[in-house]
């Protein structure tokens, strides 16, 4: 009986009760208010939602409708995405550089900087050809160049002390004078017997003022004649300039090589604010180690430390305990004035931390390890078997490097540090035209903007009287518009 009764009730529900139930549900839905869409949310709420999204999702939301397209351009959305890249981390360098207070950057400025950073990373990984090429010309006899961090400003030093600059963010950069000629321009012209201009060596380095809200840096330029006594005293010395738009803070490190004593360099640490160009009795510190007296490169580090690269290895010194003096030692000075805090030998490394076949990286912990048993630095191998034996000029970044190999061309290298992923990247050969004869400057690399500055074809008769430089932009976003904007 129970089973039969259940079956009967079930049959009644299927045939009579369900249709009315559906009608009642429809009537209940019709009594509710209309559904609110995402586009009808208050603007402030939409901005808060987009601020939590990844940059790729922000671009996807932008395509949904006109309302969300406008919301995706909100300044706070892109400021939130840019903020992590304004300072370095333990495993990555600084990605974005500011030239003015952050409040003066528009939403478009922030969006362009961020998307260029991401586009450059994509371009380095996937392209062996730049998205666009541009050419700039300098009318001076260029002896040295420097690409300021951030990839926007290219500085050019000539053999007369003149320094010019190019703004690489414009489509067609033009040359502007930053510092006029400092000594007789006739030094660069041919003499009866020799070319004095060809004998002038120029070295330039800058130190950005991290405490300034605007782009400001100290610029040091060294001029030196090989053999000939300088017709103009200003043609042999070091000039320091304060530019508002390795040298660190008030200190300058330099090495001097006495004629006839090529195995002994004298390394000085100078407080350049106390140095007067017309006097030689300003205070200085002589850093002379018991070994490694011929540094190939020197770098000033925070807290009175100096990092040197020699044929024997790498060393770190603390120069704060070296007494200051106003006298100059003899060129054959041999007494040790300091011993290194840390030293690694036997690497066979050169200036760029590249050996014959390998590329090394140096990790220096900061703040420094205070214990004597804890090393100040760690050397790691970044790339093995770099089969580029003819090297004219080279430039190394954090994950990228570019090498000019004489008449062969230009190479781009990709490498990863031990704590990074994607260590499968391989060297890429970049096609480059030109013989690079009489080349005084090499390639310059800015990883964050995807820019590579290389010399143009010097064989062309039209380029004989000046230097032509090509700007290679690897960020794919430059393919979208001939103006280079988003």
Residue 483 in domain: no
* pLDDT for position 268: 85
- Could you give the strand order of the β-sheet that contains 216-225, starting from the edge strand earlier in sequence? 200-208, 216-225, 237-244
Q: How many domains does the chain have?
A: 1
Q: For position 463, what pLDDT does the model report?
A: 43
Alpha-carbon Rg for the chain, nearest whole angstrom, is: 31
Counting every residue written for the chain, the total comes to 486
At residue 347, the pLDDT reads: 45
Quick: pLDDT tens for 301-329: 888 888 887 776 788 899 998 999 888 77
Residue 116 maps to a domain? yes
Is 90 inside a domain boundary? Answer: yes
**Per-run averaged pLDDT (10 residues), the chain, 486 residues:** 34 40 47 68 91 94 91 96 88 86 93 95 81 88 87 90 90 89 63 54 85 85 71 72 65 63 70 69 85 78 84 83 84 79 59 63 74 74 72 78 72 76 54 48 86 69 60 86 43
- Residue 89 inside a domain? The answer is yes
Question: Is 76 inside a domain boundary?
Answer: yes
78 domain-assigned: yes
Question: Do 152 and 208 meet the contact criterion of CB atoms below 8 Å apart?
Answer: no
d(CA 409, CA 452): 14
pTM: 0.71
Sign of CA dihedral 61, 66, 68, 73: positive
Give the domain extent around 67.
38-122
Structure tokens at 394: 């080279």
Is 476 contained in some domain? no
What pLDDT, on the 0 to 100 scale, is given for residue 443?
A: 83
3-class secondary-structure state, position 71: helix
Alpha-carbon distance of 82 to 327, in angstroms, equals 50
**What is the domain-level CATH number for residue 58?**
1.20.1280
Let me know if residue 152 belongs to a domain.
Answer: no
**Which whole-number Å values give the CA distances from 185 to 62, 181, 188, 196, in the listed order?**
57, 7, 6, 11
Residues of the chain above pLDDT 90, percent: 19
Residue with structure tokens 């040197």? Answer: 308
For position 345, what pLDDT does the model report? 65
Per-residue pLDDT tens for 195-216? 544 577 888 888 888 888 888 8
Given this model, what pLDDT does residue 91 score? 72
Torsion on CA atoms 47, 51, 57, 62, rounded to nearest 10? 30
pLDDT of residue 433: 44
């Amino acid at each position: 009986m129970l089973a039969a009764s259940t079956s009967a009730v079930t049959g009644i529900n299927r045939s009579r009760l369900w249709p009315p139930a559906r009608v009642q549900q429809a009537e209940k839905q019709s009594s509710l208010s209309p559904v609110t869409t995402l586009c009808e949310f208050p603007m402030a709420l939409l901005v808060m939602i987009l601020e939590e999204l990844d940059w790729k999702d922000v671009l996807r939301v932008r395509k949904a409708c006109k309302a969300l397209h406008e919301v995706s351009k909100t300044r706070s959305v892109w400021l939130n995405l840019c903020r992590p890249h304004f300072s370095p981390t333990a495993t990555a360098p600084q990605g974005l550089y500011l030239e003015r207070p952050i409040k003066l950057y528009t939403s478009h400025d922030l969006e362009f900087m961020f998307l260029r950073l991401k586009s450059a990373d994509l371009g380095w990984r996937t392209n062996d050809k730049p998205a666009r090429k541009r050419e700039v010309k300098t009318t001076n006899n260029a002896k040295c160049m420097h690409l300021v961090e951030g990839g926007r400003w290219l500085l050019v030093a000539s053999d007369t002390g003149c320094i010019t600059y190019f703004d690489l963010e414009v489509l067609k950069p033009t040359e502007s004078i930053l510092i006029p000629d400092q000594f007789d321009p006739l030094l660069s012209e041919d003499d009866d017997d020799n070319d004095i201009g060809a004998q002038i060596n120029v070295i330039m380095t800058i130190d950005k003022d991290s405490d300034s809200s605007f782009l400001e840096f100290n610029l040091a330029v060294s001029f030196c004649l090989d053999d000939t006594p300088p017709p103009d005293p200003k043609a042999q010395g070091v000039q320091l300039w304060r530019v508002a738009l390795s040298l660190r803070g008030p200190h300058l490190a330099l090495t001097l090589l006495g004629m006839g004593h090529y195995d002994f360099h004298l390394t000085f640490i100078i407080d350049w604010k106390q140095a007067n160009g017309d006097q030689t009795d300003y205070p200085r510190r002589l850093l002379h180690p018991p070994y490694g007296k011929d540094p190939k490169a020197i770098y000033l580090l925070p807290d009175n430390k100096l990092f040197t690269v020699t044929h024997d290895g790498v060393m770190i010194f603390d120069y704060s305990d070296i007494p200051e003096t106003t006298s100059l030692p003899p060129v054959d000075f041999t007494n040790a004035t300091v011993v290194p805090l840390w030293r690694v030998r036997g690497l066979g490394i050169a200036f760029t931390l590249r050996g014959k076949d390998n590329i090394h990286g140096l990790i220096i912990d900061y703040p420094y390890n205070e214990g004597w048993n804890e090393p100040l630095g760690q050397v790691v191998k970044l790339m093995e078997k770099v089969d580029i034996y003819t090297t004219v000029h080279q430039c190394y970044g954090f994950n990228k490097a570019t090498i000019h190999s004489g008449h062969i061309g230009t190479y781009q290298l990709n490498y990863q540090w031990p704590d990074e992923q994607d260590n499968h990247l391989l060297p890429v050969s970049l096609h480059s035209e030109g013989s690079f004869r009489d080349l005084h400057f090499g390639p310059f690399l800015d990883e964050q903007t995807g820019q590579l500055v290389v010399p143009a074809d010097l064989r062309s008769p039209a380029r004989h009287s000046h230097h032509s430089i090509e700007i290679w932009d690897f960020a794919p976003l430059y393919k979208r518009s001939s103006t280079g904007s988003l």
